[in-house]
Amino acid sequence: MKKCIAFVIASGSLLLAGCTTFHHTSTAWEYRVVRAAADSSDLQEQLNKAGGDGFAFVSSQTLPGDQNSRPVTIVILKKAKR
């Protein structure tokens, strides 16, 4: 009998806890990909402009260059769609 009462109390508590949690809404995102030579001031300018437009950093990767090209940095940015 004690186990049954404990089960009912635990189940009720879990049910009530679930009812009081916030429901998360799905956010739609807009993305921007910025690409520039890794050591160029153009990358900084593009990132500053995107930041001014409300974009935030998500990820970046620098791709190595070879004997014919310089390394390239690719940055992925996002902001919530309106």
CATH number, domain with residue 30:
3.30.70
Q: Check residue 59 and give its pLDDT.
A: 97
Paired tokens of 72: 């390239």
pLDDT surpassing 90 at residue 2: no
Report which DSSP code applies to 27: P
- Residue 28's domain comprises 2-80
The total domain count for the chain is 1
Contact of 71 with 37, CB cutoff 8 Å: yes
Strand order of the β-sheet with 56-63 is 29-37, 72-80, 56-63
Residue 27, Cα to own-chain centre: how many angstroms? 11
Paired tokens of 25: 């809404």
- In tens, the pLDDT along 18-72 reads 555 566 678 899 999 999 998 889 999 999 999 999 999 999 999 998 889 899 9
pLDDT surpassing 90 at residue 78: yes
Q: Flag whether the pTM goes above 0.75.
A: no
Confidence at 8, pLDDT banded by 50, 70, 90: low
